[in-house]
Chain A
Amino acid sequence: MSTKKPKLNSNGSLPTAKDFPPPERLTPELEELRDATREAMQALREEIKKYGEKPDFRH
């Protein structure tokens, strides 16, 4: 996948969100990823709103 990946910032710190601009053109694959990500994140927010904070099943 040919998305630009910034190096460390000029001040030597890690990149932040603003260092990752969206691509100018979207392939069909990226369009689907954009839509699927948006839908999943919205579902996550709705589920938290409906049921409260998620239980921690990591441990």
Chain B
Amino acid sequence: MAKSPIFDTSSIIEHSERVESLYHSALFPSIVFFELIATSTDESTYKKYSRWHKALKRADRMLTPTENDWWETARMIRRMYLGKIAQETKLKTLRMDALIARLAVKNDGFVITVEVDDFELIKKAMPDLQIISASKFFGE
């Protein structure tokens, strides 16, 4: 089964030079842009993210959650909550990552992340999720 690499924000921040070289194959969740834009300080940086965002959309490499993705992600978090897979305080911190995980499963991709432990937790309630650490993916 064909798989596409999907970067989360942690992997983009820590491996930006290497992420750069995979522009042709990677898919980018819109959640990443929320996290990058919300924390960008300079106007010039914002404009560059905006150009990148447009280019990704034009190339059909942007993944955006639908209403159903939110629904399914909520169901997954509910399973974690009811199954006591993680504490409430931890579940609150997993919302964005859970959406990225949902998009990865739905689009036949795998998540590349620095925060492997968080995604491994999500995988307990989303068994089809595939994860690889950024360092392993980049062969470090």
Contacts and interface: CB of A to CB of B under 8 A. Distances in A.
Contacts of A35: 55
Given A5-B3, A40-B48, A51-B41, A32 B55 contact: yes
A5 B128 CA distance: 19
A15 B34 CA distance: 27
Interface string A15-47: 111101011000001101111111111111111
Contacts of A54: 13, 39
Interface stretch (B14-22, B65-73, B80-88, B119-127): B14-22
A17 B55 contact: no
Q: Is the interface of A mostly helix, strand, loop or mixed?
A: helix
Given A30-B24, A58-B93, A47 B42 contact: yes
Nearest to B136: A16
The winner among A29, A34, A38, A44 for most chain B CB atoms within 10 A is: A44
Given A3-B24, A7-B1, A57 B35 contact: yes
Interface residues of B, number: 52
Contacts of A1: 59-61
Interface string B109-132: 010000000000000000000101
A22 B9 contact: no
A43 B42 CA distance: 9
A17 B5 CA distance: 9
B23 A33 contact: yes
B76 interface: no
11 contacts: A1-B59, A5-B3, A6-B3, A30-B23, A30-B24, A33-B24, A33-B58, A42-B16, A44-B12, A44-B45, A45-B16
Interface of A: 1, 3-8, 14-18, 20, 22-23, 29-30, 32-48, 50-51, 54-55, 57-59
